[in-house]
Amino acid sequence: MSILGNIGIVGNGSWGTALAKILTDNNRHIQWWLRNEDAVKHLQRTHHNPNYLTSVRFLEGTIHPTADLQQVLNNCQTIVFAVPSAYAQSVLESVPADMWMGKNIISAIKGILPESNLILNDYLARNPAFDLKRYVAITGPCHAEEVAQERLSYLTFSGLDDVLTAAVAEAFHNNYIYTTHNHDIWGAQFAAVLKNIYAIGAGMAHALDYGDNFLSVYITNCYREMYRFLEQHFEKVHPSNERPDFHTSAYLGDLLVTGYSLHSRNRLFGTMLGKGYSVKNAILEMNMVAEGYYAARGMQTIAADLQLEIPIASKIYSVLWQQVPPADMFKALEKTLS
């Protein structure tokens, strides 16, 4: 039997739907948890998600949607967790904690759990029974919309167990998805968190009529800040672990695509704020979660606890959570970039 066993997906947003498409295109049959019973019935009847990536159609028999999370956990050895970080902890806590233990947990979250200010593996590690070697994180650069179009994309898988991580990477590899894997669980996930924050800033800059010249300088400085945070985080928290290579597509590439792409919801969120929307109205208008919004607050706590400085992310936080006008923030930021 495969090391992965039966695979279940938890979450049916655009990213969860894209991952379901990849797996079913690779002849994997999946169990799929959806929060909404109406969405379950729609998928069973029409074989496509009614709300996200509606152009993606699944072959009959390849997906088994359900609103019963315990059913998925009982029947699957490998769980792809693709719930937005804002709702992740409530989903995790909706079933007994021991139901998550002993599973291969594949995290497709690109954010921080806002109630605890933890990335998913650190949240799960609060349970002594959690085996970190059975955890793998998925990062990009990869937009769900381009997966739906089968445009060539790259996924990075980070895990401590080479056999499991390679097996997960192989399960997602096909003619339009190239995969690589490494050991850097923490760096890859924190890079994904930070790039979403920086992408909100990129959207604000665009709306405020800053041009490509400025944006290239801004992104360069964001990457420098990200790299410095990852290096210092590694030294303070995981000094004995193998040092990862941060100059790869999972770090710089994911930052670039999220900061520049029109598919980026974080960039769109920032664009709306730069145009004068309030945070509340931008959230309502988008009807989707911009992971960088909650990540900006969580990273302030994490950076403060570790006594690390993230000045660009802190300025974006001031707009999102302290009502500083975007134009005022960027005027102050201009003078600090190089």
Last residue in a domain, options 130, 158, 183: 183
| Mean pLDDT, rounded, of the chain | 93
Q: What CA–CA distance (Å, rounded) separates 172 from 250? A: 16
Same domain, 316 and 200: yes
Last residue in a domain, options 162, 183, 204: 183
Same domain, 242 and 172: no
Count of CB atoms within 10 A of residue 226's CB? 26
Domain range enclosing 264 = 186-334
Count of CB atoms within 10 A of residue 208's CB? 18
What 3 state SS string does 289-328 have? CCHHHHHHHHHHHHHHHHCCCCHHHHHHHHHHHHCCCHHH
Same domain, 60 and 154: yes
Structural domain includes residue 24: yes
Mean pLDDT of 83-107: 94
Same domain, 67 and 111: yes
Mean pLDDT of 55-83: 94
Last residue in a domain, options 122, 154, 183: 183
Confidence of residue 170 (pLDDT cuts 50, 70, 90): very high
Q: Which residues pair with 155 in a beta bridge?
A: 179
- Residue 105 phi/psi, 5° resolution? -100, 120
Same domain, 163 and 255: no
Work out the angle between the directed axes of helices 185-207 and 291-306 (0-180°, nearest 10): 120
Catalytic hit among 195, 236, 275, 331: 195
Same domain, 74 and 115: yes
Same domain, 172 and 200: no
pLDDT of residue 210: 96
Same domain, 158 and 197: no
Structural domain includes residue 1: no
Structural domain includes residue 2: no
DSSP output for 228-295:
HHHHHHHHHH-TTSPPP--SSIIIIIHHHHHHH-TT-HHHHHHHHHHTT--HHHHHHHH-S--HHHHH
The CATH code of the domain that includes 59 is: 3.40.50.720
In this model, does residue 104 exceed pLDDT 90?
Answer: yes
Mean pLDDT of 302-309: 94
Same domain, 104 and 207: no
What tens digit of pLDDT does each residue of 204-262 get? 999 999 999 999 999 999 999 999 999 998 888 877 676 777 778 888 999 999 999 88
Least confident of 15-24, 43-52, 165-174, 307-316: 43-52
What are the E-state strand segments in the chain?
7-10, 30-33, 63-66, 78-81, 104-107, 135-139, 153-159, 177-182
Structural domain includes residue 134: yes
320 touches 279 (CB < 8 A): yes
331 among known catalytic residues: no
- Token look-up 């295109």 returns 25
In this model, does residue 288 exceed pLDDT 80?
Answer: no
Q: How many structural domains comprise the chain?
A: 2
Please state the length of the chain. Answer: 338
Burial 131-168 (b: 16+ CB within 10 A, else e): eeebbbbbbbbbbbbbbbeeeebbbbbbbbbeebbbbb
